[in-house]
Amino acid sequence: MNTVTDKKAIGFTAFGACLEWFEFTLYAFTAPYLSVVFFPHDDKMVGLILVFGVFAAGYLMRPLGGIIIGHIGDKKGRNYALKLSIILMSLPMLITALSPTFEQVGALAVVILVFARMIQGFSVGGEYTGVLVMLIEHAPKKHRGLITSLATVSSSVGVLLSSMIVAILAHFFTFDQMVEWGWRATFMVGFVLAIISFYMQKSVSESPMYIQYRKESGAKKEMFPLLQTWRYHKKELMYVFVLTGYLGIAYYIMAAYLPNSLITLRNMDESTVLWITTFFSAVYAITAPLWGYLSDRLGRKVMIVIPTIILMLTAYPLFNIFTNGTFILIMMAQGFLALLISAATCAFQVAINELFPTDTRYSGVSASYNISNALLGGTAPVIAALFVAQTGNDLAPAYYLIIASFVTLLLIFKMPETKDSKHFHH
């Protein structure tokens, strides 16, 4: 194993995750401006719900992207699939940046925005899981948790980048200037980053495990890896589905619902809220390697179960702080939540890959991960907002988290420990 190319492969591949999350969260951070540009409405909350509706539309394309790009990744190679998804990801950034407004072309503006989000969702469907597969297959056995945690670090750097760019612009320009052109500038930055990422990925070597599998399998390749997975690994697909959905709900209530609810329900200043979110992302990213390292030492399962139990027990008091607490208390509560979600996520990302053999890994993980993310993760901000609107209770999202934690724990106790997975011999 050539360690130099491996380090390069690990670094460049991880950058792909950074880019994806930059673009993805950029939409959430620019939501207050997008709602004015694309959904001019008297009631601010209606505008926001519509913007998140478009956000969910992008999510609906994720499973399709996951299935198709996952299939390509198992058939043509990990690297080929990743390059394809990066090219596809640059398009929505360019389209969004140049999109006409509702004032200029009416409903057509919304159609263009939805179209861009759908391409984005499709490309992301194969991107993040591909990054995880590449990282884990390039990693030495005893550091799989640590190396895979780089995807969490890198994706959080993407979130940080997008929140910082929006925060800086929002600081120097008025709300009206941001609505007029400021948000467009942020999407152009994303487009440039995508082009850079594509050239980086071009020089990355294919996964050693995939090369070995191709050598050993010779001509007898499975026609449809996903069908094989469905035939022999139903339980594994279910574990991926449940865990992805749960962590998706927790993460998106944190990263997408909370910032916007602080602005609309508590009338907090946009830039203040962006700093809270930036702090959350920083804690989430910086601690990731520690959790990855611990999952290599203690096992994946314990690192998923413990944070889930703590989250179930603390969700209600935490939401009480978000609804009534001071700025400092909100920061502390966000930081605490970030620690829990980061710990569970790092162990989960390794475990789901260790459940599958090389020939069907990309397909199995991508399909289950993205279907779950679409149904449960992408809808979490909308469901949280609707719960609050229906019940009139600002603490309603906490109940959602408590129920999700409980259901997840019931299923996860049955999951095997994957740290010494038979699918990773090298």
Note the pLDDT tens digit of each residue in 193-236.
999 999 998 888 898 899 988 888 765 566 788 888 898 889 99
Three-class DSSP labels, the chain? CCHHHHHHHHHHHHHHHHHHHHHHHHHHHCHHHHHHHHCCCCCHHHHHHHHHHHHHHHHHCHHHHHHHHHHHHHHCCHHHHHHHHHHHHHHHHHHHHHCCCHHHHCHHHHHHHHHHHHHHHHHHHHHHHHHHHHHHHHCCHHHHHHHHHHHHHHHHHHHHHHHHHHHHHHHHCCHHHHHHHHHHHHHHHHHHHHHHHHHHHHCCCCCHHHHHHHHHHCCCCCCCHHHHHHHHCHHHHHHHHHHHHHHHHHHHHHHHHHHHHHHHCCCCCHHHHHHHHHHHHHHHHHCHHHHHHHHHHHCHHHHHHHHHHHHHHHHHHHHHHHHHCCHHHHHHHHHHHHHHHHHHHHHHHHHHHHCCCHHHHHHHHHHHHHHHHHHHHCCHHHHHHHHHHHHCCCCHHHHHHHHHHHHHHHHHCCCCCCCCCCCCCC
- Note the pLDDT of residue 3: 60
- Note the pLDDT of residue 277: 81
- Note the pLDDT of residue 377: 87
- Note the pLDDT of residue 420: 79
- Domains (range + CATH), the chain: 3-211+223-412 (1.20.1250.20)
Question: Which residue ranges in the chain fall short of pLDDT 50?
Answer: 1, 426
- Note the pLDDT of residue 44: 66
- Note the pLDDT of residue 203: 87
Give per-residue pLDDT as tens, 161-187: 888 898 889 889 888 888 889 999 999
- Note the pLDDT of residue 263: 84
- Note the pLDDT of residue 394: 87
